[in-house]
Amino acid sequence: MNNISKTLIVVIVTALFAGCIEQQKTPDQPINLVKMSGQDMIQRLGTGEIAGFIGWEPYPAIAITKGYGKPLFYSADIWKGHPCCVVAYDYHWYNNTRNADDILNRMALVQLKSVEYINNAKESGSPDHADLINYSMAFGGMTNSSAAELSLKDVQFVYSPNIPGTETFISKIMDFKIFDSNKWNQSGYKNASDYANHLITNRYVDWAVKNRENNLSSIALKETVTIRYGYLLNDIHELPFYVGWQKGWFRAVGINITMAPGTPFENGAFEMQKGFKTNSVDIGSLGIPPVIIHRINSNDFSVDDARVGVISGMNNEGSIIVVAGNITSLADLKGKTVGYPGPGTIQHVLFLMAADNAGLKVSY
């Protein structure tokens, strides 16, 4: 026992020593990304615990209107027109649903209708503007209408999926070694383009565009179906879903929306792992990077349980790096803590891209 103990102690001391040596190799003052919830980001920026955060709307808007921070970069400054959230379906649900294509056509149509409504109502002179602000406050968990106004400004609501943008995301995720290499090899995809084209289809949006002028009830499903829908907590990017739901447009086309177990999810990684992979989400909205990553990393390829397909876009852009008043550049964040929603989220990848452009290192 004594000898074993001594050996183990030598091992741990050596390990710690090795850790010290390794520590010296760490790059000079990386920016430390730390995962936290949106509400935590706001609160910790307010108390000065963190120097900034990158989050989805409405968290940046809330922090800015409260005077806790200021925008350093809009995600459009990092990558103009980058894809963000999408609408995806579960393959297990698809294979077990007789009229899945009909349902997905109508989901895409409601998405299109909601996006058009929001884009018109965003104008302050629009008669629907007040309603839109109310929807934003309810879905985004906001109590301040100024924050709701601000949160809508930098989000581009879209319905078309962005295949070239998704290819770029896949390439970046490969560069950043986020994929589990064994799982990537099992997937059989040749490259980013091959993967993106297997993941996304335009066919449902094409159908929606053709039928955009039709009255919704005239193209309703013959029998109402119930869909277990998953979405993210307080994510303004997913406002088109909420608008369609509140306006009764899903019901009008014969789709009864119920909240999937676990909804609203804390982030897209959770929605993939706890929702789609466990087949408890039929259709849902989430960021494209969690879809890309967990369709590979969390998938059991013998049964393809994390296989999802993307039918439409939800939004482009719409994330902000918010920083404390004394920060004027990304370089000022060196050695400081910055909140983010978690590894593999769109904000994670965008922050890495911003740091790459600035020649900075980021620990996560």
Partner 1 sequence: MKNNTERKGLVINILSLISFVILWHILVLLAREQIFNIPFMKMKDLPTPLETWYALVGSMFTHTYGPGFTYGIFDHIKASLVRVVQGGVLAFIIGVPVGIGIGYSRLIHNILNPIIEIVRNMPPMAWIPLAIFILVTGGSIFIVFIGVVFPIILNTIYGVRSTDARIIDAARTLGASEAQIVAKVLIPSAFPSIIAGLRIGFGVGWMAIVAAEMVIQSPVGLGYFIWNMGDLGRYAEMVAGMIVIGVVGYIMNISILLVQKRFVKWVD
What residues make contact with partner 1 under the rule CB under 8 A? Answer: 1-2, 4-5, 8-9, 11-12, 15-16, 18-20, 22-23, 25-27, 30, 32-36, 40, 47-49, 175-178, 180, 182-183, 267, 269, 272-273, 293-294, 296-298, 300, 302, 337, 342-344, 352-353, 355-356, 360-364
Give all strands (DSSP E) within the chain, no chain letters.
31-35, 52-56, 70-74, 85-90, 155-157, 225-230, 255-259, 283-287, 308-313, 315-317, 319-323, 337-340, 362-363
| Least CB distance to partner 1 at residue 89 (A) | 20
In 3D space, the residue among 59, 49, 35 whose CA is nearest the CA of residue 324 turns out to be 49
Min CB(336)–partner 1 separation in Å = 10
Between 88 and 152, whose beta carbon lies closer to partner 1? Answer: 88
Q: Are 346 and 165 in contact, with CB atoms under 8 Å apart?
A: no
Closer to partner 1 by CB, 146 or 363: give it.
Answer: 363
Q: Give the nearer residue to partner 1 in terms of CB position, either 1 or 218.
A: 1
Query: ω into residue 264 within 30 of 0, thus cis?
Result: yes
> Tokens in use for 179?
């994929």
- In the complex, least distance from residue 91 CB atom to partner 1, rounded to whole angstroms: 17
Nearest distance from residue 74's CB to partner 1, in Å? 19
Cβ closest to partner 1, residue 248 vs residue 335: 335
Q: State in angstroms the smallest separation of the CB of 248 from partner 1.
A: 36
Strand partners, 188: none
* Cα separations in angstroms, 261 against 166, 284, 286: 28, 12, 15
Identity of the residue, 145 or 279, whose beta carbon is nearer to partner 1 in the bound complex: 279
Q: What does the alpha-carbon distance between residue 168 and residue 181 come to, in Å, rounded to a whole number? A: 18
